[in-house]
């Protein structure tokens, strides 16, 4: 290992890279869900999209995302055209 050096990864981190023994200087930065949803809502407003369809996973996280985005879209004058919740498969 090279001392005083760090590797940064932005986004989802592969589980194989999470070993602190093999990769002691790797730091994974994952954006918060709220900041991602805020960014999506701002893009929708920026492009002046008025009818928006949302596709999300059928779990608590997906439901929260749909509720948050629906609220933010409505604040910007938009409406939901449809919402489709899908089941995750492993």
All structural domains of the chain, each given as residue ranges with its CATH number in brackets, are 1-30 (no CATH), 32-90 (3.40.50.2300)
In angstroms, the CA 76 to CA 40 distance is: 12
Tell me the pLDDT tens digit for each residue of 12-51: 566 777 777 877 777 777 777 888 888 899 999 999 999 9
Which is more confidently placed, 10 or 67?
67
Q: Answer for the pair 65, 41: CB distance below 8 angstroms, yes or no.
A: no
Q: What does pLDDT average to over the chain?
A: 83
Residue 11: what pLDDT?
65
Banded pLDDT at 1 (limits 50, 70, 90): very low
Rg (CA), the chain: 18
């Amino acid at each position: 290992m090279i001392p005083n050096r760090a590797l940064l990864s932005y986004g989802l981190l592969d589980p194989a890279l999470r070993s602190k023994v093999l990769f002691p200087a790797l730091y994974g930065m994952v954006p918060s869900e709220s900041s991602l949803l805020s960014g999506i809502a701002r893009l929708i407003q920026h492009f002046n999209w008025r009818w928006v369809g949302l596709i999300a996973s059928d779990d608590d996280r997906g439901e929260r995302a749909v509720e948050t985005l629906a609220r933010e879209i409505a604040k910007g004058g938009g409406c939901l055209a449809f919402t489709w919740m899908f089941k995750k498969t492993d």
